[in-house]
Amino acid sequence: MHRQDLETFFSDLLSPKSFSDYCPNGLQVEGAEQINKVAFAVSATRDSIEQTIDLNADALVVHHGLFWGFHGARTLTGSFAKRIKPLIQNDINLFAYHLPLDAHPKIGNAATLGSLIVCKQQASFGDYKGSPTGIKGILSNPISADSLRTKLKTILEHDIILASPDKNQMIKSVGIITGGANSDWVLAHQAGLDAYITGEISEHDWHESQENGIHMFAGGHAATEKGGILNLMRHVQEKYPLECLFIDSNNPV
């Protein structure tokens, strides 16, 4: 299929222009016009790019792209140049969708994880310059903090750090913002939720969340953000006769 048709499909599904983000969403590196094979990964790294080349794919679709506002005007030198150069040399398209894939109410990272822990009555949660960043909801069956940690470990296949005021206390409501949203447990507290699930946790958040009565679960930045990109891949497979493959770099963070 034509590159523009694939980008249009992503735009119609994810509505990237409706988000205020700190990175460009959409086509970040232009490659071949015709796309027959597509690789998907959580992040555009040297590893995922090299695997894309080895797979002879025409495009790489990721959640974490190459360009971020916090990097400022970044020069194409050093390791960054070595990451981008193979894309251009091999005519590979790079698509990236950050907040649109975090917050999508059906296929997004947070919604996917919420469905896996059987979280119903899902609603938008979190805020970045007016854009939602996750979901909140009610668990179909209340569960203890320790039991939810075990469940998340099984789902994510990743160790879970738990900050809990009482590990035997039953959890009924949760807020979920995947990835590096460690400080947003405050939003869960403000919303009157019992628990907050994210990817990372800092030392002070471990103390402060439980001191404020919030059960905070950190399941890994990459691990909590596989769901959205895998769902996006499945949507492409259902819609188009493209060969699609997922690249798992097994990031432990």
Q: What is the pLDDT of residue 103?
A: 92
SS3 at position 142: strand
Is the residue at 242 inside a domain?
yes
Is there a single domain that holds both residue 206 and residue 170?
yes
Is there a single domain that holds both residue 213 and residue 123?
yes
Is there a single domain that holds both residue 173 and residue 216?
yes
As a whole number of angstroms, the distance between CA 15 and CA 196 comes to: 26
The CATH number of residue 31's host domain is: 3.40.1390.30
CB under 8 Å to 208, separation ≥6 — which residues?
A: 185
* Mean pLDDT over each residue of the chain, to the nearest integer: 96
pLDDT in tens, 156-204: 999 999 999 999 999 999 999 999 999 999 999 999 999 999 999 999 9
Q: What is the pLDDT of residue 67?
A: 94
Is there a single domain that holds both residue 69 and residue 117?
no
> What is the mean predicted confidence (pLDDT) over 143-147?
97
Q: Residue 140: pLDDT above 90?
A: yes
Is there a single domain that holds both residue 84 and residue 198?
no
Is there a single domain that holds both residue 220 and residue 106?
yes
> What is the mean predicted confidence (pLDDT) over 217-236?
98
Is there a single domain that holds both residue 93 and residue 147?
no
- 5 pLDDT band, cuts 50/70/90, is very high
pLDDT in tens, 52-78: 999 999 999 999 999 998 877 889 899
Is there a single domain that holds both residue 213 and residue 111?
yes
Is there a single domain that holds both residue 33 and residue 73?
yes
Is there a single domain that holds both residue 137 and residue 194?
yes
Is the residue at 87 inside a domain?
yes
Rounded to two decimals, the pTM is: 0.95
Is the residue at 251 inside a domain?
no
CB under 8 Å to 184, separation ≥6 — which residues?
A: 126, 133, 134, 175, 177, 196, 198
Is there a single domain that holds both residue 153 and residue 171?
yes
| Residue where the block lists tokens 């949760």 | 174
**Number of compact structural domains in the chain:** 2
Which residue range is the domain that position 107 belongs to?
102-224
Q: What is the pLDDT of residue 71?
A: 79
